[in-house]
Amino acid sequence: MEKIYIHDKVFVPFMPYGRVSEVIDGVARSLNQDFCPVFGSYHQAPAEDVPMLLCVLNGAIMFVGELMERLEFPVQLVSMKLSSYVGTQSTGNVREVMGLTAPVEGRTVIICEDIVDTGNTIVALKESLLAKGAKDVRICTMLLKPEVFRNKIQLDYVGAEIPNRFIVGFGLDYDEQGRNLKDIYVLE
């Protein structure tokens, strides 16, 4: 891993893909432990009982793709797109860019995020899903910035905690670039 340049910024290595993969393994183990006994195998689960894995676009695409490969219980994949960032800063305002791709009424929804920092986006999303009739909403994130997380909402599955630094790679971007990097880099 070498330093990289995106737009006007320099990023240095932070988390190699091998560590990212270990983080996803840990999240998958926890989800399998909680959901396999409840939802069983593909032969037993009625479609309306299958949990919905909600991929928060665009950042969580790579995380959700690899997470799904490791899950041992049936899931339905849905997505939506929210935005709260401009450049390297959160605006504090959560904006829905694309709505849900399927109804959630009466369903168990597992929100999958690439990263949670302040938690404002995840709080707004959970409230929205419950208002739309979701039976249960769980929160799953690959990464958490605990020093800026300022909400009391419970995060059910956290892959790894990181310092409050701006990162790119493995789905995370700087002005829509850097998402395709397998490794994660931090702003120099």
Q: Is the model's pLDDT at 100 over the cut of 90?
A: no
Instruction: Write the CATH number for 77.
Output: 3.40.50.2020
Kindly state whether residue 80 falls inside one of the protein's structural domains.
yes
Partners of residue 95 on adjacent β-strands: 83
* Residue 72 included in any domain: yes
Q: Which of 25, 34, 117, 183 is catalytic?
A: 117
Please give the model's pTM, rounded to 2 decimal places.
Answer: 0.88
Domain range for 121 = 18-36+46-85+93-162
**Is 117 marked active-site?**
yes
Q: What is the dihedral of CA 123, 126, 128, 129, to 10 degrees?
A: 170
Asked whether residue 130 is domain-assigned, the answer is yes
18-48 burial code (b ≥16 CB/10 A, e <16): eebeebbebbbeebeebbeeebeeeeebeee
Phi, psi for 70 (deg, rounded to 5): -100, -10
**Within a domain: 185:** no
Tokens at residue 72, please?
């041992």
CA distance 26 to 40: 20
What is the chain written as a DSSP string?
---EEETTEEEEEEE-HHHHHHHHHHHHHHHHHHHHHHH--TTT--GGGSPEEEEEETTTHHHHHHHHHH--S--EEEEEEEEEEETTEEEEEEEEEE--SS--TT-EEEEEEEEESSSHHHHHHHHHHHHTT-SEEEEEEEEE-TTT----PPPSEEEEE--S--EEBTTB-BTTBSTT-SSEEEE-
- Residue range 36-55, pLDDT digits in tens: 877 666 556 556 678 999 99
Q: Are strands 136-144 and 157-161 parallel, antiparallel or unpaired?
A: parallel
pLDDT digits (tens, 9 = 90+) for 60-94: 999 999 999 999 989 999 999 876 655 555 556 66
pLDDT band per the 50, 70, 90 thresholds, residue 99: confident
Q: How many domains does the chain have?
A: 1
